[in-house]
Amino acid sequence: MQPEFLLQNTEVIVPAVYTLLSCWTRFHRIGASNTVVWDEAHFGKLGSHHLKREFYFDVHSRLGKMTVGLAGLLSGYGGRFEFKPGEVYPDTVPYVAMRVMLATFGVLMLPLAWFTSVELGMAQGACRWFRLRHRCRLAMQLSFHSIGLCAPPLRVSYRFPFNTIPQRAIQFSIDRWVWLFFTGISIGCVTRVKMIGLFVTALVGVYTVEDLWDKFGDTRLIMSHPLQAHDFYKNPLDVAFGSRVTLKNMDWGGGLLHSHYEPEVPLRYLKDGDTIHLSHVSTGRNNLRSHTVTAPVSKLNYEMSGYWNLTVEDNHDYWQVEIVDNTKRGSVGQVHSLTTRMRFKHLALGCYLRAANAVLPQWGFKQIEVSCDEENNKKDAHTYRNVESRWNDRLPAGNMKLYKSPILRDFWASNNALIPDPDKKDMSLDLEAVRLAFLPSRHEDIKYYLMGTPVVWWGSTISLGVALLTFTVYILRWQRKYNDMDAREWDHFLYVGKIAFFEWAFHYVPFLIMGRVTYLHHYLPTLYFAVLMFGHVLDHFIFSSRRFSTRTKATAFGVLVSDLAATFWWFSGVALGIDGL
């Protein structure tokens, strides 16, 4: 091959070579384990549901699970395998082909990382280092070796910086609109694979707002800023005394309580602080009561019972209404059907009506136990109830618009409904304090260990702090009239830093406030942008610096790559699979 040809086609040959190397990394020993590994037990089963055209519910978006189903369809899989954890794949399941198809998304990340760094204006040394950094990431290696949803959203979400960068240089041209179109396609695809696409959408929104502000903003001013079908349109909005209602526990799958109808009582609306009886109609209008008897399952709570003699009353029959809030109107002192969240306090004992996860024995028909909890935890959703159905001929029908449930609240609740992990340590993930082992039940099966490459995780985390410190120092020096770089260099440094830092923050911070279980692989998109910041810092201080000679830069590149390669080689066994332990 002629040297002239190599020089003329370097921008194509170099990423092509790296992509071929990544094929070996991503596909090597991909079929070594013939058992169901890790997320294959979940997403493989969901792909089977698609192939069998069965309805199911899952918190993830559809496109990713459809991609798993498509990989199975193209591989000749019929969807009849149950994907039980640790189960050996039969000959009828082409699990290797399915893994290869999904791992291809991981292969395509490598050229995308290369062209992203090139478009960001990084030097050749930084581009190659950034490219190798992604090839030698242990956590991604194991994630791409299984049938799951890690590779597709990562591949699509990483298109954002690559799609938006050219728009800065081709304003109001055909190419600009083409890139904008692909940006929209990328956002839509990643959101339909996993909801982390919302984080990419957030950055696009911030980027757009900043661009509009730079072009049109006036800097003299301060800028401020039920899933279930039901006939609730027939229900009155208000709840009054004398209403016959069903009271539904606000926690997942809660039971119903019923009140009684007294036509001779004057019409009064139910409000916060009112004292009421709760009577069970179907068993003879027994009053709901509690007393100092231990509950059958929840031994720290009091027992709930129904008193059969309505002619005899005592203070164990009285309940006080405590309104928590109104999902539609915020803080409202009057009880409204469906939208008011309230608690019932026992006047005599001071305990709260509660139905959690305790299940009654067979004599209780395996139903959720209802008890009276002495702990006054205002945030305990197991004590929340709402009026789900209500009958009162003396009240008009309510406005259907007032029954709509806030979609963002429901979305947040469905994600946090995943079982929380008591060992969840978000801040420690960047320093590798939490890892994940996949140990099969059979001794002869291959073992895997999910962990990040230490030099990648530690270095990228430190680079975030270094970038912020560097930015602060430059700002302070600029205010003192020190010009460390010209306007073009400063704009480039700031632009790349903002993309890397804010995309890292948008992908990382939400997991700090999520109650749902999270594992190491949930932070892989976060890591991509932290590594991008690492490459940006190295490019700024070493590879694009005018203070160092070409030989010094080559030496620095060799040291960095050697450290990366040695670390990957040393730990590669845990990601590629361990035999014989």
Amino acid found at 90 = P
Q: What is the pLDDT of residue 425?
A: 52
Distances (CA, A) of 385 to 9, 154, 311: 68, 40, 28
For 236-396, CATH number out of 3.20.20.110, 3.40.50.150, 2.80.10.50, 2.115.10.20 equals: 2.80.10.50
- Would you state the pLDDT for residue 229? 47
Q: How far apart are the first and last CA of the chain?
A: 47
Listed in order, the ranges of the chain carrying CATH 2.80.10.50 are 236-396
Nearest of 242, 578, 280, 277 to residue 439 by alpha carbon: 578
Gap between the Cα atoms of 518 and 538, Å rounded: 31
Phi, psi of 244 (to 5 degrees): -105, 115
HSE-CB for 536 with a 13 A CA cutoff: 32
Asked if 548 and 475 count as a contact pair (C-beta separation under 8 A), the reply is no
Q: What is the pTM of this model?
A: 0.63
Average pLDDT of adjacent 10-residue blocks, the chain of 581 residues: 64 80 81 80 82 77 81 86 84 87 81 79 80 67 69 51 51 72 79 78 82 68 43 72 76 56 67 87 76 90 79 79 82 81 92 89 86 89 86 77 70 61 50 56 71 80 92 90 84 88 86 69 79 89 87 89 84 73 59
Determine the pLDDT at residue 116: 79
Burial grade of 422 (CB within 10 A; 0-12, 13-18, 19 or more):
exposed
- 487/490 Cα distance (integer angstroms): 5
Contact residues for 319 (Cβ-Cβ < 8 A; gap 6+):
275, 276, 277, 278, 288, 344, 345, 346, 347, 353
Secondary structure E strands in 234-308: 240-241, 244-249, 256-258, 268-269, 275-276, 279-280, 286-294, 302-307
